[in-house]
A and B are shown apart, each in its own frame.
Chain A
Amino acid sequence: MSNWLKYFILLIIGIALGLAYGWVISPVEYTNVTPSIMRADYRADYVLMVAEAHQREQDSETSARRLAMLGSDSPAKIVEAALTYATQNGFTETEIILLQGLHTAMQTYQPQGSNAP
C-alpha cells in the first residue's frame, strides 16, 4: 500500500473520530433556546395554558401575543396544531373545549393596527 493511501485512510479515520466526538460524545450544548423548538407536548401544554387564561380574560390580543412566543406561524395555526395533538393524545374533553374556544377566538382575531377591514 502506498504511503499516500495510508495517509488518506488516516485522514478519513480522523474525520470520523472528529465527527463522532462533535455529534455524539460532546455535541454543541444549547441553552437559551427559543420556545419554537420545544417538544410537541410542551407546546400543546403551553397553548392549553393560554387557552385557560383566555377563558378568564377573554383578551384575544394578549392571547395572540402569548402564542407568538411559539413561533412565526399565525396564532390560529399554532392553536390548531395543539388541538390536533390534544385530540390524538388523550387530553380531557374540557381541555379540548378550551382549546377549541381559543382556536375560534384566534381565527377571528385581527391584530390591532392592521389595515384589514
Chain B
Amino acid sequence: MKTLLRNFLLPVFALLIGCGVGLAYSWLIAPVEYVDASPSLLRDDFKDQYRIVIAASYASSHDLARARARLELLSATDPLGELNAQAQRTVGSSESAANVQLLAQLATDLQKGIVSVPLTSTPFATKIKPTVATSSTKSIITQTPTPESIEPTSTPTAELIQTPFAILAFTLTPRPTFTAIPDSGTPFILIGQDTVCDPTIEPGLLQFTLIDSRRKQIAGIEIIITSTEGEDHLFTGFKPEVGNGYADFVMQENISYSIRVIEGGTFVNNISAPTCTDPNGKTYLGGLSLAFQQP
C-alpha cells in the first residue's frame, strides 16, 4: 500500500495540483489579453451603435457596397436581418427619430440593392435659397450709388431696380433642376383614402403609402398617430417587401385617430376603422388605405 502511494498516487496528485495551479493562473489570474478584436465580438449595444454610425456614414457617402461590407463585419450571417431588427427595435425605444430614419433608409437600400435619392436635401436646399441672389443684389445696389452726388431724382432709382432684377433672373435659372429632389420640408398631401373591405386582412388595418412627386415610394418618413389611447410612431420602409413607402397600424373599433406626417407637418383628422359587410350580411371591421404624395 505504501509503495502504491509513493510510486503512483503521489506523483499523479502532484501532476494534478500542478495542472490546477497552471489553469487557475492562465484562466483567472493572467488570462489571455484580448487585443485586435474584430467588430463581430462587440457587445450588442456597441454593435447597435456601430450600425447607426454605418447608416450615418452611408447617408453621407451613398456607398452601398461599403456599407454592406461594414455591416458584414458585425454579423457575417445575416447583416440585413440584424439591421432590420435594430430598426424595428429603435422605433419603440427612445432612440432619436433621425437615427431610425438613417437605419430604415440603409435597410431599404440594401434590400433593393440600389442607392436611393437622399431624403435630406440640405446641400441642395442651400443652393436654391435665394440668399445668393439677395447678396449679389445688395452688392450691386451698394456699388451703384458710386457717382458723387445722387440727387433724389428718378434716374438712380431706375438703375437700382433694374440691376438686381437681372441678377435675380440669372441666379434662379438652374432652380428647375432641383425641384425633382424630395425635399424634407415639402408637405405630403393626402391623395387617396380607400376603405379596404377584405376579411382576409387584419381587422382595422390602416395602411399608408407615401410617394414623392415622381411617384417613387419614400422610406424613413415618420408618421404619428394620436388617439385617446395614446400616441404611436411609425416609419415607412420597415416592410420593403410591401413597398419602401409603406407603413401600417392596427386601429381599434370606435376610436378616432389623428394622423400627422412629420415631413412637412401634414395633418389628417377623424380617421377611424370602417365597418364592412360580408356577402352573408355579417359585419366586420374593415381597413383603410391612405396615400400621401409630395407635390
> Which residues of A are interface residues toward B (Cβ below 8 A)?
3, 6-8, 10-23, 27-28, 30-35, 37-40, 42, 45-46, 48-50, 52-53, 55-57, 66, 69
Known: A21-B26, A27-B32. A10 touches B14 (CB 8 A): yes
Partner of A14, one of B19, B36, B49: B19
User: Considering the chains assembled together, what is the distance between the CA atoms of A39 and B73 in angstroms?
Assistant: 12
A7 touches B43 (CB 8 A): no
B54 touches A56 (CB 8 A): no
Q: Is B243's CB within 8 Å of the partner chain A? A: no
**What is the interface of chain A mostly: helix, strand, loop, or mixed?**
helix
Chain B residue at minimum C-beta to C-beta distance from A19: B22
Known: A6-B11, A49-B70. A33 touches B18 (CB 8 A): no
B31 touches A18 (CB 8 A): no
Q: How large is the interface on B (under 10, 10 to 19, 20 to 34, 35 or more residues)?
A: 35 or more
Chain B, range 54-69, C-beta contacts under 8 Å to A: 54, 56-57, 59-61
A18 touches B32 (CB 8 A): no
- Measured between beta carbons, the chain B residues less than 8 angstroms from A53 are 53, 56-57, 59-60
- Measured between beta carbons, the chain A residues less than 8 angstroms from B54 are 49
Chain B, range 253-277, C-beta contacts under 8 Å to A: none
A30 touches B37 (CB 8 A): yes
A42 touches B39 (CB 8 A): yes
Chain B nearest Cβ from A45, distance in angstroms: 7
Partner of B21, one of A15, A34, A42, A66: A15
Chain B, range 1-50, C-beta contacts under 8 Å to A: 6, 10-11, 14-27, 31-32, 34-39, 41-44, 46, 49-50
Question: Which of A6, A15, A30 gathers the greatest number of chain B CB atoms within 10 Å?
Answer: A15
B19 touches A46 (CB 8 A): no
- Measured between beta carbons, the chain A residues less than 8 angstroms from B43 are 32-34
- Measured between beta carbons, the chain A residues less than 8 angstroms from B44 are 32
User: Considering the chains assembled together, what is the distance between the CA atoms of A28 and B70 in angstroms?
Assistant: 27
User: Considering the chains assembled together, what is the distance between the CA atoms of A37 and B43 in angstroms?
Assistant: 12
B57 touches A14 (CB 8 A): no
- Residues 111-130 of chain B, each 1 if its beta carbon lies under 8 Å from chain A, else 0: 00000000010100000000
Chain B residue at minimum C-beta to C-beta distance from A37: B37
User: Considering the chains assembled together, what is the distance between the CA atoms of A37 and B26 in angstroms?
Assistant: 20
- Measured between beta carbons, the chain A residues less than 8 angstroms from B39 are 35, 38, 42, 46
Chain B nearest Cβ from A19, distance in angstroms: 4
Known: A7-B11, A18-B19. A52 touches B26 (CB 8 A): no
